[in-house]
Amino acid sequence: MYKFAKVLAFTAVAALFASPLFHSSKALASGGAEPLKEVSWNHSGPFGTFDRAALQRGLQVYREVCSGCHGLRFIAFRNLLEIGLKEAEAKAIAAEYTMMDGPNDEGEMYERPGKLFDYMPSPFDNEKAARASNNGAFPPDLSLMAKARFGGESYIYSLLLGYEEEAPEGVTLAEGMAYNRYFPGHQIAMGPPIDDEAVEYVDGTAPTKEQIAKDVSTFLMWAAEPALEQRKRMGVKVILFLIVLTIVLYGVKRKVWADLH
C-alpha cells in the first residue's frame, strides 16, 4: 500500500508537469522550421495564472485583427466573464454580432443580436466561402490552435513575429504565399497580420508588435484551455493529499512492523 501511494504521488507530479506549457521552446517544429522564440508566460509553471489584463487585450486583438478570417467557435460570450469582463461588457460585445435564430411562430428563421449564451460566430458561412475569400486557403478556427500546435502559445507568438519581407536567396515562394521562419515549410498563405500600432489598446498599453503578439497568444492559450488554472489548483490539492496519505501510510507501516518484530 505504501509503495502504491508513492507511485500515485509520482504519477500526479508527472501529470501536472506533462503539459504543452512545459515543452521547450527550443524544440524544432516539423517541416524544418526554426526553434521557437523564448517567451516568459505568466501562466507557465505549476502555479502560474493568466494575466487578466493581457487576456482582455488579446481579446481586443482577436476581434480587431483576427476575427475577420478566423473563428473561435468553442468560446461562448459568457466565457468572457472568466477573463475579467463585467457582465454588461460581455453583453455589449455579444450584441455587436448578429445571430440567426428560430423558427418563430410563423416557422421562419430570423436574425437577432447575440446574447451571452451564444457562441462566437465564424466569419464565413462555410469552408467554400472561406476559401473563396482567401485565394483558396482555409483560415483555421483558433479555438484550439494553442493546443493543436507543438509549442502552444510560443508557436503562435513566434509565427506572428516570424515574417520576412523577402524570402532568402534560393527560396521561391508560390503565388500568394509569404515567407515565415517559424512556419513548417516556411511558406504560409496568411500575410503578416500585425504591426506596431495595429490596435489602439483600451487600457493605454503601448501597442508594439511584440506586445500585440504576446497578448493574442495568451488569449488563444486561454481559449484552448479555459480550465487551465482550475486544473493546476486541483493538481496541487491532489499532490498535497497524496503527500499526507504517504506519511500516514508510512506511519501505519512502521507501527505494524514494530509490533511484529
Which amino acid, residue 246? T
Residue 82: φ, ψ to 5°? -75, -20
CA distances from 122 to 46, 98, 179 (A): 34, 11, 27
- DSSP assignment of 14-58 equals HHHH-SGGGS-TTSPPGGGPPPPPP---TT-STT----HHHHHHH
Q: Which domains does the chain have, with CATH numbers?
A: 24-75+120-230 (1.10.760.10)
- Strand 178-180 to strand 98-101: parallel, antiparallel, or no bridges (unpaired)? unpaired
Q: Rounded distance, CA 51 to CA 57, Å?
A: 10
Would you state the pLDDT for residue 13? 46
> What's residue 257's pLDDT?
84
What's the pLDDT score for residue 2?
44
What's the confidence (pLDDT) of residue 258?
Answer: 80
* Residue type, position 73, single letter: R
From first to last of its 261 residues, the chain has per-residue pLDDT tens of 445 444 444 444 444 444 443 344 444 444 556 899 999 999 999 899 999 999 999 999 999 999 999 999 999 999 999 999 999 999 999 999 999 999 999 999 999 999 999 999 999 999 999 999 998 999 999 999 999 999 999 999 999 999 998 899 889 999 989 999 999 999 999 999 999 999 999 999 999 999 999 999 999 999 999 999 999 999 989 999 999 999 999 988 888 888 765
Separation in Å, CA 247 to CA 14, 242, 257, 260: 20, 9, 15, 20
pLDDT given for residue 21 in this prediction: 38
Residue 152, classified by CB atoms within 10 Å of its CB into exposed (0-12), middle (13-18) or buried (19+), is buried
13-51 CB burial, b ≥16 within 10 A, e <16: eeebeebbbeeebeeebeeebeebbebebebbeeeeebb
Among candidate residues 31, 35, 20, 26, the one with its CA nearest the CA of residue 162: 35
SS3 137: coil
State how far the alpha carbon of 26 is from the alpha carbons of 33, 39, 171, 214, 215, in Å: 11, 11, 24, 18, 21
Buried b (16+ CB within 10 A) or exposed e, 231-246: ebeebeebbeebeebb
Instruction: Return the C-alpha cell found at 144.
Output: 484550439
Work out the end-to-end distance of the chain between its first and last CA atoms, rounded to an integer number of angstroms: 20
Place of cell 457562441: 119
